[in-house]
Structure 1
């Protein structure tokens, strides 16, 4: 709580920007379209966007009846931030609560090792602030420079990963994210849950790459939850039927069944009022319908073993 006390009486209103940033990118086959920009902290749009999101979590934490408590968000917030504690909840904070609940409900029903993959802006405090069960392995995929900045600040305020859990980072800039996840211990024969919030998705192609990675690694029945920028749909967000059709096609082509969640319906269930005005993101939950690459490899190995055993029995009879 030390990082909260620093800014307890601070005064400015922070907002999350929906601006799309353009970066020079490098494309490789099935290895992604990832940012390669070199900027300093003062003009780094990714860092500033992550700080804006942390500011919203910081303000939500200080409301009389907060959706969640983030005891570490304050260590990212400038000392002159101004508090806006009106009764309305920001859509981003509502989505944060929605994703938190889905993550914890899911991992608490997984036996043995629990794998969580967070696709984030680099300042996601979920690995530290959520009550993860024993034997949870958390993978964070985010911009390297933002993550390093965040890790230093979190270490400075004494943030700790829950005991008996593991936290591993994979740089978003890597051209081999899938391979890096596996090298760090991700097991496609074990259940997992994936969440995306704040990840700088620059193009539709880069999000399709994300879906490909998840589809390759996640077991049948695993969940992918989070929020996406609405501009990805290339449709008017107000036209729900068109957006839903686009989402269904995109996710199903990668092996997922997807459901869109209404921010208004979620806020109503939680007894909260949303901040007036548009919010250009889509809240969703998707289920993996395919088998992971590891599951398929295990199945092929088992099939080969059975065939070889059958051949041996046949020779014995002869």
Structure 2
């Protein structure tokens, strides 16, 4: 599928939820059910992904870029106008991308670093190719199937390759059970991991809560979930900074996360950049998981059962 139009701002897709509304408490029996997307939805997904790739392309062309994405150009539409002096204002997405890059590289470095990276993306994320991942890192890209397929072919055509000894695995947004598919592809909830949310096309707050639910089930205690939270998901809660932070804290804490909102201006200042003009359509966040994963709980249950059985056997022998 070819996309002929290019939008300067990623569109917001407000349709029915891509996830079911469920109040089930048994995480291990939970299943994600996602209806097949229409051609119209795919078209929006492509537009949004191309818009973000174009921002990365423009940033790469700056004389002193915040990051370099050597592959973003292969996604840019042929009619994309480039500013020869590249005087475009610094976009919040660029700041957020650099911040997330830094967090990922920090969390994965060292012997004890996270070697499982789950990226909830728009399908054209190039981090698996452009970042210097430590050996044995497994990257899971969760995104729309059609966009990922198209992007993968374009990346292959320009010679993009995953770092040696690393692995990229895709999990389709359209999967009937994303959590189970991640586990089937090797994700281990008893090993350190890090989760990123940027560009993933949720359609409403319920959809994002389902992502929180899934990540909470998979992530070990202490693991990080970070990224960009679309402002429009706050619905009528938008107000003062303190009220938004309180609302975010309540949402995340209900799934076992302690969240912190990071100001784009704060990140820009730390990077030696000028003030970012305008309001962002996202909130940059970092959340620490405070609960045990399902796999950790299962290991604890088995160990507790083993101790009980050994205790029963010892008691029988004494009798």
TM over 0.5: yes
Q: Distance in 1 between matches of 2:15 and 2:175?
A: 18
Q: Distance in 2 between matches of 1:101 and 1:306?
A: 43
Using the TM superposition, give the Cα deviation of residue 168 of structure 1 relative to its aligned residue in structure 2, in angstroms: 0.2
Using the TM superposition, give the Cα deviation of residue 233 of structure 1 relative to its aligned residue in structure 2, in angstroms: 1.5
Contact 1:88 1:274 (C-alpha < 8 Å) held by counterparts = no
The equivalences for 1:202-241 within 5 A come to 202-235=203-236, 237-241=238-242
Q: Distance in 2 between matches of 1:34 and 1:272?
A: 41
Using the TM superposition, give the Cα deviation of residue 178 of structure 1 relative to its aligned residue in structure 2, in angstroms: 0.5
Summarize the Cα distance change of 1:25–1:221 in structure 2 as closer, same or farther, 3 Å threshold. Answer: closer
SS, match of residue 243 in structure 2: helix
Contact 1:23 1:37 (C-alpha < 8 Å) held by counterparts = no
Summarize the Cα distance change of 1:274–1:124 in structure 2 as closer, same or farther, 3 Å threshold. Answer: farther
SS, match of residue 306 in structure 2: helix
Q: Distance in 1 between matches of 2:77 and 2:302?
A: 55
How many residues end up aligned between the 2 structures?
A: 306
Contact 2:145 2:174 (C-alpha < 8 Å) held by counterparts = yes
Using the TM superposition, give the Cα deviation of residue 304 of structure 1 relative to its aligned residue in structure 2, in angstroms: 0.6
User: Which residue number in structure 2 is paired with residue 38 of structure 1?
Assistant: 38
User: Which residue number in structure 1 is paired with residue 297 of structure 2?
Assistant: 296
Using the TM superposition, give the Cα deviation of residue 21 of structure 1 relative to its aligned residue in structure 2, in angstroms: 3.8
User: Which residue number in structure 2 is paired with residue 7 of structure 1?
Assistant: none
The equivalences for 1:76-87 within 5 A come to 76-84=75-83, 85-86=86-87
The equivalences for 1:1-318 within 5 A come to 15-22=8-15, 25=18, 27=20, 29=22, 30-32=30-32, 34=34, 36-39=36-39, 44-84=43-83, 85-86=86-87, 88-109=89-110, 111=112, 114-235=115-236, 237-318=238-319
**More strand per residue:** 1
RMSD: 2.1
SS, match of residue 10 in structure 2: coil
SS, match of residue 258 in structure 1: strand
Using the TM superposition, give the Cα deviation of residue 105 of structure 1 relative to its aligned residue in structure 2, in angstroms: 0.2
SS, match of residue 194 in structure 2: strand
Contact 1:34 1:206 (C-alpha < 8 Å) held by counterparts = no
Contact 2:121 2:197 (C-alpha < 8 Å) held by counterparts = yes
Q: Distance in 1 between matches of 2:224 and 2:249?
A: 15
Contact 2:269 2:275 (C-alpha < 8 Å) held by counterparts = no
Summarize the Cα distance change of 1:240–1:110 in structure 2 as closer, same or farther, 3 Å threshold. Answer: farther
Q: Distance in 1 between matches of 2:274 and 2:303?
A: 54
Q: Distance in 2 between matches of 1:19 and 1:40?
A: 13
Q: Distance in 1 between matches of 2:11 and 2:275?
A: 18
Q: TM-score, structure 1 length as denominator?
A: 0.91
Q: Distance in 1 between matches of 2:295 and 2:221?
A: 11
**Runs of 5+ unmatched residues, structure 1:** 1-11
Deviation string, structure 1 residues 34-89 (Cα, Å, up to 9, x no partner)? 46322179x80110110010000000000010000000000000122112421632
Deviation string, structure 1 residues 193-212 (Cα, Å, up to 9, x no partner)? 00010000101111110001
Summarize the Cα distance change of 1:154–1:187 in structure 2 as closer, same or farther, 3 Å threshold. Answer: same
Using the TM superposition, give the Cα deviation of residue 275 of structure 1 relative to its aligned residue in structure 2, in angstroms: 4.4
Summarize the Cα distance change of 1:238–1:59 in structure 2 as closer, same or farther, 3 Å threshold. Answer: farther
